[in-house]
Structure 1
Amino acid sequence: MSQNTEPREQWASRLGFILAAMGSAVGLGNIWRFSYVTGENGGAAFLIIYLLCILLIGIPIIMAEFTIGRKAQSDTVGAFTKLAPGTPWVLAGILGVASAFIILSFYGVVAGWTMRYFLGYLTGQLWSAPEGGYADFFVGFISSPVQPILWQFIFMALTIGIVFVGVKNGIEKTNKILMPLLAIILIILAGYSLTLGGAAEGLAFLFTPDWSAFAEPGVYLAALGQAFFSLSLGMGALITYGSYLSSKEKLPGAAGSVAVLDTLFAIIAGIMIFPAVFAFGIDPASGAGLAFITLPDIFAQMGLGGFFGLLFFFLLAAAALSSAVSLLEVAVAYFIRKFDWTRKKASIIVGFIIFLVGVPSSLGIGPLSNITIVGGRDILDSMDFIASNIFLPLGGLIIALFVGWGWKKTEVLEASDFGSSGLGQVWLFILRFVAPIAILIIFISSIRQW
């Protein structure tokens, strides 16, 4: 007998849906990852290419995912099974669930670090440099065999708790609080950063392009990879969220809102970070350590630095939480349908499995640091590479091809709310030709980096 008699949930409001989809997109990818990837790839040149990727590929694929989800009213695997039964298109859904498992496994580790730092600022421990400096503190913490796993567990327990409660009362309500709060904190921090001595240099780095960087193939690779990671493309999150949407809502406006707000978040994060980096003479390409070593050092030298550190790490942890919820929901929605589980059972079992899958990523920086998987990368970086550079682009490619070629044109245009408008024709053209070619080029370049 079926134990899951719950009706399919829906969003309570359009705003709730947009904030939840934005919560999926706005995460560590916008703040922590965007900052160091921009720094490593020449600043403004990267930003211009990134914006083009969002416009030409990001928004059309968001629209494609929303259209698939709402039409099918099912999880990411069930959606393809329903719309194209017995065909290989279902591979996109399977890749989505696999990506959710892999990304959340290592994402939970890094998010756990942000929670540890938040506690450090909350108690005052990190308001001034610990003995040996912030670099020693960070390396000591992440290489510990126990501490990072404990914080990863706490973060995953929070994520499971929100998904456990449901779509309206858990995911939607959380994002209605977190997203406006994050926007306010980000604007306060960016405003303060502009009062520092490095504002002119930081803004020039972010907004004045070095034209020679456009000749670097790696910048294009990084920009499209960042667009996919930041917008949550190809992982089934937006298909899953779209499936809880009623047919009354118009999709093009929602897709545009999510992309614009997500991109604004990333740019304001750049305005927050780069003036501070230049004011204190830090290399903007200082990699992933930017958030955990460089910025705490800067906060320690600022008036009210401890307070700003507290705000910054709350911002990081909360942004990570909103994205982690969407990743867990992809897998949970699949298990609810596939195995006829209740939401509560699926949330706990799937969340705990993902936590266990993430433990090697955590230990890979400490006790298992001698293990490398992909091209000399440690376990965490290998998981990131496999998901961000292989699974997500492949998922996005199949989604674009399915909507562009595998689904009847009249049905697609009707389901997307474009109807017979010219915009709908442009959208289909991009999904048929522009997006697949761009994604394939990036994908082949990624494989060469293996």
Structure 2
Amino acid sequence: MERENWTSKFGFILAASGSAIGLGNIWRFPYITGTNGGAAFLLIYITAIILIGYPVLISEMAIGRKTARNPIGAFKKLAPDTPWWLVGALGVLSGFVILSYYSVVAGWGMSYAVKSIGGFADGTDFAALFGSHISSTFSPIFWHAAFMFLTVAVIGAGIVNGIQKVVKVLMPMLFLITFLLIFRSLTLEGALKGLIFYLKPDLSAVNLQTFVDAISQAFFTLSLGMGAIITYGSYLSENDNINESAGYVMFFDTAVAFLAGFAIFPAVFALGFDPAAGPGLTFITLPAVFAKMPLGALFSFLFFILLTIAALTSSISMLEVVVAFLVDEYGWNRKKASYFMGFLIFFVGLPPLLGYSSFSNFRFLGMDVLDTYDWFSNVIFLPTGGLLTAIFVGYYWGSTNAVEEANKNSSFKIGKSYRFLIKYIVPAAIIIIITLSLINSI
């Protein structure tokens, strides 16, 4: 079966950036920044993106293009008759599990976009409203199904007519809506307090958990360790520039996360809310902010549409990982694989969805079902996948081979710095983060 390729460098950059830009930027980044003291976390996060995220991003793109295979097939091709294929299997599993609960949260975003059309009344108990929504049954299932249907429809259409065509529309929309929200937020009276919180480092807020959160966020937001970048890289041609493309992806991803802070924190401070509200910042605090804001219904609608677009550009990359596995390894028809895996992922997403109603008594280390899925993904699966990928590139396949592949047709060459980072800094940092995360959780 002939494999598709991206029809342009720009198409790949938008698709890979879309994979990276998701709920991690719009939903997760603001509340993690808020709970870690603002600007101090931002500096650590950017450092983690450059020193850890960029080398792993290049490595996964190089593995993908070299093999032109899904994650499992890629490791089988580079390390035949060895257990290294299990690293690819972990990537496929990661994408599968993350998408199952990612779709649930994205469904919340879709439902809130619809709720926003009528506007939220000032004085509404938004904690009760959110609790009522997630603890019901029919509505969350409907929106979970609707979001998975959109994801399946894009992937079923293929690389060029599906993913590439859709991201060329969605990514410009994402940036446009972000800038509209920033303009509204910065023009509110009292917005300066939010800017100071966001941009002036408070080193007293920094602790070990800050570093754990920063590196975990770097992996989550760049789609590392879940096979998405290897899969997208497998559709690159020999003429594509890996090093520059990785740089653009890193830049766009970080820019959207950074800009999301400008859209959120000035408004939160201007209207007297808590920036350290945790996960509830998006679905409890921000609706309350919009309710107090002139034209709040419009900007609430735009924000939750932004959240949905960001989620969709990431979800299609996660579904592509598992679909590519069935297409490459078993010769499945793309549409058949898309619908089959979409239904299976929808089904696996039901426990976290019902974790606030039917499964509300479930607890793992004190966490509900959705947080348990998220914990395994961000503390175990993604860092372990990134660690093993770094070890594979640095010591088995060889950093020299990775450099040779990445430097093809590249005006920006990597070399000694990349080798040092992928062999020593990346593995050491990830081991420390996994260890600290496990200690903090138990």
TM range (shorter): over 0.9
Report the Cα offset of residue 423 of structure 1: 3.0
CA contact (8 A) 1:97 1:235 kept: yes
With normalisation by structure 2, the TM-score equals: 0.97
Report the Cα offset of residue 129 of structure 1: 5.0
Report the Cα offset of residue 71 of structure 1: 0.5
Matched, 1:239 2:230: yes
CA contact (8 A) 1:45 1:213 kept: yes
Report the counterpart of residue 133 of structure 2 in structure 1: 141
2:205 to 213, 217, 223: 213
Amino acid in structure 2 at the alignment position of 1:395: G
CA contact (8 A) 2:26 2:260 kept: yes
Matched, 1:321 2:316: no
2:181 to 181, 184, 189: 189
CA contact (8 A) 2:107 2:143 kept: yes
- Tell me how far apart the structure 2 counterparts of residues 286 and 412 of structure 1 sit (CA, whole Å): 42
Q: Deviations over 1:115-156 (max 9, x none)?
A: 10111123x1x34358x5222221101000221111101100
Q: Deviations over 1:373-402 (max 9, x none)?
A: 2x1100000000000111000000111111
Report the counterpart of residue 435 of structure 1 in structure 2: 426
- Tell me how far apart the structure 1 counterparts of residues 393 and 172 of structure 2 sit (CA, whole Å): 33
2:338 to 347, 358, 375: 347
Report the Cα offset of residue 206 of structure 1: 1.0
4+ runs of 1 displaced by more than 4 Å? Answer: 418-422
Q: 1:297 to 1:421 in 2, by over 3 A?
A: closer
Report the Cα offset of residue 303 of structure 1: 1.1
Amino acid in structure 2 at the alignment position of 1:402: F
Q: Deviations over 1:277-320 (max 9, x none)?
A: 10111111101111111111111111111111111010001110
Aligned residues, how many?
A: 440
- Tell me how far apart the structure 1 counterparts of residues 35 and 311 of structure 2 sit (CA, whole Å): 22
Amino acid in structure 2 at the alignment position of 1:161: A
- Tell me how far apart the structure 1 counterparts of residues 311 and 411 of structure 2 sit (CA, whole Å): 39
431-440 or 133-142: bigger deviation: 133-142
Report the counterpart of residue 192 of structure 2 in structure 1: 200
294-303 or 400-409: bigger deviation: 400-409
What's the secondary structure of 1:407's corresponding residue?
Answer: helix
- Tell me how far apart the structure 2 counterparts of residues 318 and 409 of structure 1 sit (CA, whole Å): 36
CA contact (8 A) 1:54 1:227 kept: yes
Q: Deviations over 1:71-124 (max 9, x none)?
A: 0000011000001112222222111011011100110100000010111123x1
Q: Deviations over 1:4-63 (max 9, x none)?
A: xx4111111110100000000000100110000001111111101000000100111110
Matched, 1:14 2:5: no
- Tell me how far apart the structure 2 counterparts of residues 11 and 127 of structure 1 sit (CA, whole Å): 43
Unaligned stretches of 5+ residues in structure 2: none
Matched, 1:101 2:91: no
Unaligned stretches of 5+ residues in structure 1: 1-5
Report the Cα offset of residue 422 of structure 1: 7.0
- Tell me how far apart the structure 2 counterparts of residues 408 and 435 of structure 1 sit (CA, whole Å): 15
- Tell me how far apart the structure 2 counterparts of residues 420 and 11 of structure 1 sit (CA, whole Å): 20
Report the counterpart of residue 128 of structure 1 in structure 2: 121
CA contact (8 A) 1:27 1:320 kept: yes
1:25 to 5, 20, 23: 20
1:338 to 320, 329, 333: 329
CA contact (8 A) 2:30 2:264 kept: yes
Report the counterpart of residue 269 of structure 2 in structure 1: 278
Amino acid in structure 1 at the alignment position of 2:209: G
Matched, 1:266 2:246: no
CA contact (8 A) 1:197 1:275 kept: no
1:393 to 362, 380, 383: 383
11-20 or 199-208: bigger deviation: 199-208
What RMSD, in angstroms, separates the aligned Cα atoms of the two structures?
1.5
Report the counterpart of residue 42 of structure 2 in structure 1: 47
Amino acid in structure 2 at the alignment position of 1:416: A
With normalisation by structure 1, the TM-score equals: 0.95
204-213 or 20-29: bigger deviation: 204-213
Q: Summarize the alignment of residues 44-83 of structure 1 with structure 2, pairs less than 5 Å apart.
A: 44-83=39-78
Report the counterpart of residue 416 of structure 2 in structure 1: 425
What's the secondary structure of 1:88's corresponding residue?
Answer: coil
Q: Summarize the alignment of residues 104-123 of structure 1 with structure 2, pairs less than 5 Å apart.
A: 104-122=99-117
CA contact (8 A) 2:390 2:422 kept: yes
CA contact (8 A) 2:137 2:357 kept: yes
CA contact (8 A) 1:234 1:396 kept: yes
CA contact (8 A) 1:413 1:420 kept: no
Report the Cα offset of residue 181 of structure 1: 0.8
1:307 to 274, 282, 298: 298
- Tell me how far apart the structure 2 counterparts of residues 250 and 340 of structure 1 sit (CA, whole Å): 29
Matched, 1:364 2:359: no
Amino acid in structure 2 at the alignment position of 1:155: F
- Tell me how far apart the structure 2 counterparts of residues 234 and 203 of structure 1 sit (CA, whole Å): 33
Question: Percent of pairs identical after alignment?
Answer: 50
CA contact (8 A) 1:65 1:242 kept: yes
CA contact (8 A) 2:72 2:85 kept: yes
